[in-house]
Amino acid sequence: MGFQPPHPESLAGLHRLQHEAKQRGDEYLAMLLAGIDLYISVGREWELLEIMRKFAHDAEEMVHNTPSAAELKKLYERNDGEETAGPSRS
């Protein structure tokens, strides 16, 4: 099950509630709400890390099978008998 990012209004409400708790002197509730905010932030970062890790794994084959710049230049500049393999002018 993937992490669902919170709605911006939910985050704003959480921050507002945390600020209100702090203003009225309820440090424990403010600390609990700060912990929830941290949990949400870490969850988003973890999800991003997992997405990047999956992409790196999936892209590895594409990168290994990609011709080098020298190979591409050689293919582009070769003469295949009729004309060079440059861009066609139609």
Q: Domain residues of the chain, as ranges?
A: 8-77
pLDDT at residue number 84: 47
pLDDT number for residue 5: 63
Top-confidence residue, 7 or 28 = 28
Q: Note whether 35 and 21 are within 8 A (CB).
A: no
**What's phi and psi for 7, nearest 5 deg?**
-70, 140
Task: Report the pLDDT averaged over residues 49-78.
Answer: 86
Instruction: List pLDDT tens digits, range 20-63.
Output: 999 999 999 999 999 999 988 888 888 888 989 998 888 888 88
Mean pLDDT across the chain, nearest whole number? Answer: 81
